[in-house]
Amino acid sequence: MALVVLAEKRNFRFPIRLSESAVVVPWNLYRDNALRNPPSVSLGSWCNESSQRIGDFDLRFASQSLFLELLKELHVEHGFTGEYWQSCPTLADLYQKVRKKRYPLMSHQARHRESLENRLSGILHHAGDVFACNRGIDLKKLLDHDFILELDGTIPEIKRLILSLLLSRILLYRIATGERTPHLRTLVIVDEGQNLFRRQEELSDSPSTLGHLITLAREFGCGIVVGVQNIRDVSYALTSNCAHKIGTGFSDMRDLDEFCRIIA
């Protein structure tokens, strides 16, 4: 069974001492081309997924659609069809494309283009090295190791993007390649899960698909352990899919009430 740990701090390095195959990666050394599809996952479905993940940056559905449209154009321009050996455009290429795109100033598209440009510029400014790479870490190799990703020292939005992209990759890959099995093949441990599975977002107009992916991936041997500080902020999709709930150290009665509610 492979272990994937998405750690908030540098306190999860001990597996290095326990296992030869364990790898600890500080976030700024992690490489992920957000536009490249995981092995066995179709390019189309990954484009949809990546537009969702970028959409988590407070992008409206219309701006997400623009992202998707330009991404597909970019893939055609680069002749990328989703094969592993092909060179894939990066978020930096997409950013350049968005910048060059011109729409009438007063049109809706111009506003969506501006939102998209701002988001991509922010991502590249904070984590250009991570996302502007052609290939990224090989997912199959990653899942053969015990992989610990350390996320301290970056802003919450980038943490969230790195985490959600990696989690989507793993889940989609397991769904695409997996046979239905009751045995656990990958265990993902998420620290500070309230950043990733937010209740507020679930109640919004465009809820994230991560919760849905977790439900699906469970059938394919992909388990998830989530640690949270404040249970009231966690999405219903997560709490309802969680078979086992462990509660300790409540400092607020409202948290305790919520815990009682979900275990009742």
Partner 1 sequence: MNKDQRDHLARVLGTGKVIVRDPRYPEPFLLTVPFMQFDDNVPDNEVLDRYEKFIPELFTDPQDRTMILDALRRQRGLPAQAVGLLQYSPQTAHQTPRQQQSQSTKQSEEGSSSETASKIGSIDSLRPLRIQLSNPKNPFLTESEIFDAADITSGSTKATSKRWLIEHGFIREYKIQRKKSFLSVWEPLALGYSQLRLTKPQYASKGGYLHQFAAHRIKKFLVKQGYDVALEYMFPDTGKAVDLWAKREGEIIVGEIAIGPALARELDNLYKDLAGSVLPDRLIVATVDGKMRRDLEKLIELDLYLSTFRDKISVKLIGDFIE
Residue number with CB closer to partner 1 (56 or 146): 146
Q: Which of residues 224-263 bind partner 1 (CB under 8 A)?
A: 243-254, 256-257, 259-261, 263
Distance CA 103, CA 116 (A): 13
Residue 22 is a binding residue for partner 1 (CB under 8 A): yes
Residues 2-21 that bind partner 1 (CB under 8 A): 10-14, 16-18
CB 84 within 8 A of CB 134: no
Q: Is 24 in the site for partner 1 (CB under 8 A)?
A: yes
Q: Binder to partner 1 among 44, 140, 153, 236 (CB under 8 A)?
A: 153
Please tell me the distance from the alpha carbon of residue 15 to that of residue 84, in angstroms, as a whole number. Answer: 30
Please identify, using beta-carbon distances, which residue of 99 and 141 lies nearer to partner 1: 141
Dump the DSSP string for 161-189.
Answer: HHHHHHHHHHHHHHHHHPPPEEEEEEEEE
Intra-chain end-to-end CA distance of the chain, in Å:
32
Smallest gap from residue 160 Cβ to partner 1 (A):
19
Q: Is 141 in the site for partner 1 (CB under 8 A)?
A: yes
Q: How far is the C-alpha of 61 from the C-alpha of 67, rounded, in Å?
A: 10
DSSP type of residue 105? T
Name which position in 83, 102, 106, 264 contacts partner 1 (CB under 8 A).
Answer: 264
Neighbouring C-beta atoms of residue 164, cutoff 10 Å: 24
Report, in Å, the least distance between residue 248 CB and partner 1. 4
Q: How far is the CB of 22 from partner 1 (least distance, A)?
A: 7
219, with CB counted inside 10 A (0-12, 13-18, 19+), is middle
* Interface segment toward partner 1; rule CB under 8 A; list 39-47, 119-127, 145-153, 224-232: 145-153
Give the position of tokens 């992008």.
Answer: 59
Catalog residues that contact partner 1 under the rule CB under 8 A. 10-14, 16-18, 22-26, 28-29, 31, 137, 141, 145, 152-153, 243-254, 256-257, 259-261, 263-264
